[in-house]
Structure 1
Amino acid sequence: MDIFTIEYSGTSFESWANLGDDIQSLAAQKLLPYVSGGVSREELTCTKKTGVLSMNGYFLGGCEWPPAPAIEPFFFAFHVTPGSQAKICSPAGVEYLKQFQPIGCRDRGTMELMQAHGLEAFYSKCVTLTLPRRATAPVNGKVFMVGLSKGGISAVPRAIRKKAVLVDQAKLRLPSLSPKAKEMISQELLDTYAREASLVITSKIHCAMPCIAMGIPVVFLYDEKCKDDYRVGIIADLVGINYIGESWFAKVLGNRLRSRRIDWAPVSKDIEAEKSAIRAGYLEAFERAAQRYQARNKVAA
């Protein structure tokens, strides 16, 4: 039996990469007994591969849906964007999902969407939260500012900002990166955070969650105009969200005032019990899919 994870390859990724996508698949690979390869999110409907597919990740408006019938999916840490709801929750899409209930959802917004369409769904949280906690924190660690907007940068105190390492893991501009290369870069980035970071300040959920899992203190900044964004609800549950503005006034003065209410020296979050529950839930979902796949192929034989 082949086991696959979602692969972020194809025309949409020819000249850039969002390592947050690849980190989600990398986290799944660390939990599965083995991985045979990837199935491109852009080729779900037409893939010739057969086997079990981990459907953790971010499914947006351009995704292909539903997956080819030879694929046996399992849904855990599944996220549906507003732009993809019409496709994934169409009558045909809902009938497809019914075959694989319960649907484990990365956030409450996706869970409520599934439930509104009569599907059995639960809040699974994200597989990136299962990454191992680092053994020790660095003695003279660095502050990493990851994926911050101009508004976010203006909220960071100057004493912190002038010494921080700037990273943008969501907009890696390199042509023709293979999935394997992106996986290697993603792992190196995670290793760098674990080895060197005393604090991570970010607006990227797939920087925040891996760092929380690894025992790194995190400050999460987010645009106040996006308070209804259900993607980040999971961060609110873990470490809280500090909302900042993106207007001219906010960048000049407003965010400095907000900054005074932010704890810039947070302690790391202990989520080991939660991590164990997520890991167990993911493996249970995988085992159900593996049993379905084996039973289906036994009948076919």
Structure 2
Amino acid sequence: MYGILIREGVGRGAWKNIGDYVQSIAQKQFLKDKETCFVEIEKLSEFKSEEPVNVIMNGWFMWHPEMFPPSPCINPLFISFHLTPSKEKDFFTPETIAYLKKYEPIGARDVRTANMMKAHGIDSYFSGCLTMTLGLDYKQDKEHDGDIFIVDPYMELFGDSDVHGLKRVWKYLGLVWHAIKYFRKVWKLKDKYINTTSSVFGRISLKLDEFICTADYYHIYSKRFSDEILLNAKYISAIVDNYMSNDEKFALADSNLRDYANAKCVITSRLHVSFPCLAVGTKNIFVIPSEKSEGEMKNYTGRVGELNDTVTIMELRDGKLQDKGTTLPEKITLANFPENKVGYRKYFDQLIKTVEKFISNNK
């Protein structure tokens, strides 16, 4: 039997990152003819089965490191494994280190996880993310003639998280000016753009808050992206209702992947949008915070290492979207939207070989 890792998000509030289910779908595509069951990532040590269960251990680990190592009935393949840095101290107990050494080398989704493993004496390598293989099921043999998608475009209030004192007051006035200056454009975007930044005037008026945050977004992104893209895009978020059933979450993740596979282009701050787009050949740009914004960058450190030859990256720095690792057009349109890099292919081939070998050895 095979297990499919899921993170249902029980006890994690009303919202859920659907990217966890994209990771699960990346496993499912290899297991179509296999008997499967669900294995909850946050309860690995409590999992029970009367027979061995083979599990591809990819994805984001974990809110509850006390639930690791996994149950003895689990036979793991550690690949595309990401450990959140904030849990490093709690995760690497003597028991966990001994367990992981039994299954080394550990395939890490990012450089930082690989380095954490090595620092604790565990052999590890950078494997890339299993979602880079989603082209196996989702790549289409036709032109990308669907919608433009903008998925959680990265933003900081004022375009910079490090704004205080009189500078902050001046920035507030700038936001109001942007709302006036771009009124017609922002009016078209106000019911489409999904604001994930801090509140500006939320205590006074939620609608005013949304309008001004949308104006701030348009002010920054319109400097690098054409209105053809920004005003015609479909805006969606990877953060969804956590109270949906597993079937509903899988269905939503599947629907999103099919949309990305058909999209003209995608702009996102979500790796589990960018990587599947690479896999299906959809042009995409990955937007990250500035390296100087330590509060934000700590969530990205290591995640973008080794990706300069793989993902087209832009960085929000000092209120401007700036190129990172690649020189892009000053104003990006549908006509000159950059082609994807091809570096992911070296990880694609190795990921497939590693997973297929694991399945072949555990029939």
TM-score for both structures, normalised by structure 2: 0.70
Deviation at 1:158, TM superposition (A): 5.0
Q: Deviations over 1:82-113 (max 9, x none)?
A: 12212322211101111111111111211111
**Structure with greater helix share of residues:** 1
Q: Which runs of 5+ in 1 are unaligned?
A: 292-301
- Identify which range, 236-245 or 124-133, moves more after superposition: 236-245
- C-alpha distance in structure 1 between counterparts of 2:120 and 2:285, whole Å: 35
2:60 to 58, 61, 68: 58
Match of 2:313 among 228, 237, 241: 241
1:205–1:232 contact (8 Å) kept in structure 2: no
Q: Distance in 2 between matches of 1:230 and 1:35?
A: 35
* Cross-structure match for 1:95: 98
Tell me which residue corresponds to 2:129: 126
Superposed CA deviations along residues 57-90 of structure 1, whole A, max 9, x for unmatched, are: 1003434211111211110111111122123222
Deviation at 1:275, TM superposition (A): 2.0
- CA distance in structure 2 between the partners assigned to 1:277 and 1:232 by the alignment: 19
Q: Is the 8 A contact 1:5 1:38 kept in 2?
A: yes
Does residue 1:145 correspond to 2:150, yes or no?
yes
Quote the Cα distance in structure 1 between the aligned partners of 2:351 and 2:41.
23
The Cα of 1:165 is off from its aligned counterpart by 1.0
What is the identity, as a one-letter code, of the residue corresponding to 1:147? D
**C-alpha separation in 2, matches of 1:273 and 1:68:** 33
Unaligned runs of 5+ in 2: 160-216
Q: Distance in 2 between matches of 1:189 and 1:10?
A: 19
Question: Number of residue pairs matched?
Answer: 277
In the other structure, the counterpart of 2:46 is 46
Q: Secondary structure at the match of 1:112?
A: helix
* Residue 279 (structure 1) aligns with: 352
Provide the C-alpha distance between the structure 2 equivalents of 1:165 and 1:269, rounded to a whole number of angstroms: 24
2:176 counterpart residue number: none
Cα distance in 1 for residues equivalent to 2:143 and 2:242: 31
Residue 180 of structure 1, CA deviation: 2.2
Q: Distance in 2 between matches of 1:268 and 1:37?
A: 35
In structure 2, what is the equivalent of residue 113 of structure 1? 116
Using the size of structure 1 for normalisation, the TM-score is: 0.83
In 2, distance between residues paired with 1:212 and 1:130? 9
Aligned counterparts of 1:38 and 1:232: Cα–Cα separation in 2: 30
3-state SS of 1:236 partner: coil
Decide whether aligned partners of structure 1 residues 212 and 234 sit closer, same or farther in structure 2, where only a CA change above 3 A counts: farther
Match of 1:135 in 2: 141
Deviation per residue, 1:179-200 (Å, 9 max, x gap): 22211111111011112x1110
Q: Report the RMSD for the aligned CA atoms in angstroms.
A: 2.4
